[in-house]
Structure 1
Amino acid sequence: MLIGVIADDFTGASDIANTLAKGLHPEGGLRTAQFVSVPDGAAPANVDAGVISLKSRTAPIAEAVADSVSAFRWLQAQGCRQFIFKYCSTFDSTKEGNIGPVAEALADELRADKVVFCPAFPTTGRTVYQGHLFVGDKPLNESGLENHPLTPMTDADIRRWLGHQTNEAVGHVPHAAVAKGASAIRQAMARIDARFVIADAIDDADLITLGEALSDATLITGGSGIALGLPRNFLKSVSSKQQLPGAEACQGAEAILAGSCSGATRGQIDFHAADHPTLAIDVPGVMAGTVTAETLVKFYRAHVGSAPLAYSSGTPDEVKALQLKFGREEVAAKLDALFSETAAMLVDLGFRRIVVAGGETSGAVAQAISQTLSAPAMNVGREIDPGVPVLTLGNDRKVALALKSGNFGAPEFFVKALRLMEGSQ
């Protein structure tokens, strides 16, 4: 294995797996596998890039560090030469978040003296300029992410935000240096007296240049975009005779589960509801135990063939009201358990195409399905929309998954995903 990725949530893991697998080089990308957890045994011999999916984005610092180091050590044992700590392209965390502590721990493991941070993903509008993170033409803290129910981002200055989470000095490689090429980036980094370095990137060309500049870096951190330029550094080491199977087409019953409260997901739900059956999950009922996995499964079974969607999404004000009434952690835990149990039941009932929206929800669903099928690895298939591929797992009972970050995807994403899963255009 050449590249090892530690991803702090499941949608982010499939996002960067997609980036590494498709590549931008004429010869393509790397043979990539996404793992639902840290495997017990060795990786398949023909895997060039391994992505470990963690559910650590909102975990306590000690837990996130322990899980990340465990994933790193397994990847290191597989022979990886370069490691990526993948977090969200909107740097989802709080002042007390774990991005800084996890990066510190991984840097200590590798004895890395300079570590780049670059959450940019220009294809979806996330850019870094002058050390500040933008979503489209808005600073991060004016983009709606300041209202995120779990990780409200109230400052667009990534240098300052990271500074809250670490004792390490935080430097900056400005876009003026990035635009001059890989050599200029290396020179700028050499002049910086800081272990952690925020790198600007406003388009894919910048990310490819960063990839060239970081060809010898043992540890890189960022969103999936930071991986755009990395496969080409390793392609000469990859045998073209070996192929890793991609995701296969799956026929069968379908279900859509949405737990994201992002504006994009709410818009996708509204678009879908115009022509398809939907079920708004009654969160107080979930907390009281009157709305259960059986409730959702009954809805899905009644609407097989019609792309049924059940969702717990709400506006920022609605989410805040529920959190104040029941507790933020309690609501999140109950909904994760609901989606997890529902997914396991659906797979046992023969559902074979499952679309999920939201990072926390995706983690709960993917883990449940992996355990149900005893299948820890997912194959990476066709890209549905930027950052979201079709994934398949299982052998005798093969299941297709799409794990969508809340803010990703076109309005018609749900139906498009289901069609690609069954091999339709």
Structure 2
Amino acid sequence: MSALEQSRHLATAIPGPRSQDLITRKKAAVASGVGNTMPVYAARAFGGIVEDVDGNRLIDLGSGIAVTTVGNASPRVVDAVREQVANFTHTCFMVTPYEGYVAVAEALNRLTPGDGDKRSALFNSGSEAVENAIKIARVYTGKQAVVSFDHAYHGRTNLTMALTAKSMPYKHGFGPFAPEIYRAPLSYPFRDAEFGGKELATDGELAARRAITMMDKQVGAENLAAVIIEPIQGEGGFIVPAEGFLPTLLQWCRDNDVVFIADEVQTGFARTGRMFACEHEGIVPDLIVTAKGIADGMPLSAVTGPASIMDAPHVGGLGGTYGGNPVACAAALATIATIEDGGLVDRAAHIESLMKDKLGRMQAEDDRIGDVRGRGAMIAVELVKPGTLEPDAELTKKLSTAAHQAGVIVLTCGTFGNVLRFLPPLTISDELLLEALDVLELILRDL
């Protein structure tokens, strides 16, 4: 796999003939509700490059939506998966358990913020882990209500759709949703400055008090089992709350017997320049939900927290046929080892420096770039109409489409559809990363 050349190369127009044939086959075989960002079909991937079936080599600034953090087909992960597959692929941990599950739980208990006696439970997807975190919080507190935030994304299952803020495409037409879900205002510095003034945009504690007032008045702490929040919002637009917002919320939860759940599905495992994003403000959530980058592409997720909370559900109340699959566990252990031994937490911080420097210079020359934000290798630009704060979703779509045609994989996000997000693998070279940003700069000038 290392023979996959780490350079951008366009052998055909995008999409090429083989991808076009697969697009036709997909339309005839796959439900139309399953969409695609890129009009190409992958054949190989390694490091910072995805090669399609037509031989085009694309610079990867998406990592499969923050999944292949240590790089696609990372050698240590490949070796671990091969060894495990040769031994056994499944027994169900609830029937015939195996060491890999226990070892992953031990690693999570060690890595997540906070000291003391911890427990973990493993599942398949981020949505599934979020639902189980809510179950645990409800049993532990004996309460039912849950608060999530504006612009939140927590998944596509029924309960997680209720927690998710954006209607299209995630919720539209799929209701009714799970009850006892409430929404509070987030700290969104770029847009809070527009509607609430500079103080609200920069004072995280003030923004948290706004949310707490809503929770007190509309829900009541005596009814509230959990508050769930992404320390940096993902699908909502890579929104980094103002400093002080998260600690103030956490303290209120502590004071009111409310479980504070950090959804670190997209932000976890070195993505933001810390092992977990909540570490940037030194907070220790009651429960941490992880997935995506945990196993370099194998389906695995987890909930981790103090034994006093995690052990609240009765025996048999947590689990699932495939939860903590042995192959996925082997991949997770190899992924964690790669992050720790390879210094990838520091690498993410270096990527942040490179990207913010380049994007900041672009912003200074182009008033359509309203904001550059994020942490580590989780960076975004919010595009606006010139001289305003009005979201420009059309420009965002044109820019991302042109980038795809030029051989750069980028993703969009945001409640208003006007955010371009960058999630490069931490193993991408500086040269590839800067080349991709140069391509985007040229396209933006042409547009």
Common fold, TM-score beyond 0.5? no
More strand by share: 1
- The structure showing larger relative contact order (alpha-carbon pairs under 8 Å, at least 6 residues apart) is 2
- TM-score by length of structure 1 reads 0.31
With the length of structure 2 as denominator, give the TM-score of the two structures.
0.30
